[in-house]
Amino acid sequence: MEKIKIGIIGLGTVGSGVVKTLKNFDNKVQIQKIAVRNINKKRNINGLNENILTDNPYEIVNDKNIDIVVEVMGGINPAFDLLKQAINNGKHIVTANKELLAKHGEELFSIAKEKNIVILYEAAIAGGIPIIMPIKTILQGNKITKIDAILNGTTNYILTKMDEDGASYEKVLKEAQELGYAEADPTGDVECFDAAYKIVTLATISFNKRIKINGIYREGITKISDRDIKFANELGYKIKLIASAKLNDKEQADVRVHPMLVPKEHVLAKINNVTNAVMLSGTPVGEIMFTGPGAGEMPTASSVVGDILALCSEIKKTDYPLPMMRCNHTSEAERIEIGETENRFYISLNTIDTPGSIGVIGTICGNHNINLSDILQKGSNPDGTAEVVVITAICKEKDIKAALKDMKKSQAISKINNLIRVMN
């Protein structure tokens, strides 16, 4: 059997895992070249043939002998240009680059369609969890209309430890950085760019409509306090960063990423530490969930190598490989603006500790068509205020924001501490 020749761009954590894993499939795959930033760097890969290393990734995309280009370097530049050139040169693509797919996937898939090229990206959504291929194959008989997912291990770890240890966000973030779960600059994770890139691509393939990254509502976890975690527990909830996407009866999409109070009995409330989970709702299947390691060297390598082997089983044997895995959607989903979305809400605030203050909250909410379902008062503070937590019934986002404006003007309310959405 003729071996399929691949070129790998990137030999960091994921790239190293891919090389180590592919040793088990030497009879099918031959690594022709590997592009690295520093060709002299010591590599923790036993038996690595350093003669195939290059610091020029264009050697890979322009090599006529290479059948598959595996991109695991991340980022936009130069990955976007490299993959465009590889596709134009007739090479199939395996990538783990969620940012590239979210921002430039439409263009890359369009070029790939013209050139009869397959782009596979299982590792770009949830690390080692198989989700793309199941949606494209065994679940294709379903109309998927809802996704609720935990797609970022760093933020899930931080929220889990805040809950278990009663610690502050700042303390747990520092611990996560020391353990290697969070980057020195954690912005991409804690401000939810990473999860936003992933839900855009996941919603696109699930709804079979293009979802644009521009305008996705995104809210990070930096404002979540240990007090919020404590109050949520008292009210029967866990706080999780949820990437969600819903398609209504008019084929309009509501796609966003933000913290949510999740009922303790809900399965997503039990997903802890760096574990990821994706819950899909569809017809006729109902609700199903995929869970497992969402990042890391070997879990992510598992998905990358799975894509490589799927291509190896097809190319050079058919003129049109893996038709089910191709991008077939052309229409863009109409988006629902965040102000028009509906949720329940958790509001934490300080009121002046005088009779009638809670009544003021109820009156303001009532003026904006908002009913209250739970109220928690936590006694008096030395400054003459009382800490109050309320949970609303389902209401529109624009109405709760209008109510908060009125609360800020009220003499009975001294401070609004936080607003967090509650899973319906």
Catalytic residues: 198
SS3 187: helix
SS3 110: helix
Q: Count H helices, E strands: the chain?
A: 14, 18
Beta bridge partners, 260, equal 240, 421
Nearest to 122 by CA among 93, 88, 87: 93
The vertex-387 CA angle with 381 and 393, nearest 5°, equals 170
Residue with tokens 């070129």: 7
| Euclidean distance between CA atoms 174 and 322, whole angstroms | 44
CA–chain centroid gap for 351, Å, is 36
Give the other-Cβ count within 10 Å of 332's Cβ: 13
CA–chain centroid gap for 169, Å, is 20
280-303 burial by CB neighbour count: b if 16+ within 10 A, else e?
Answer: bbbeeeeeeebbbbbbbbbbbbbb
Q: Where are the beta strands (DSSP E) in 4-81?
A: 4-9, 29-35, 53-54, 68-71
DSSP-derived letter for residue 39 is T
Q: Structure tokens of 341?
A: 């979305």
Residues 6+ apart with CB under 8 A from 49: none
Pairing of strands 372-380, 385-392: antiparallel
| Euclidean distance between CA atoms 362 and 61, whole angstroms | 63
Helix (H) or strand (E) holding 20: helix 13-22
Helix (H) or strand (E) holding 379: strand 372-380
Q: Is 171 exposed, middle or buried (0-12, 13-18, 19+ CB in 10 A)?
A: middle
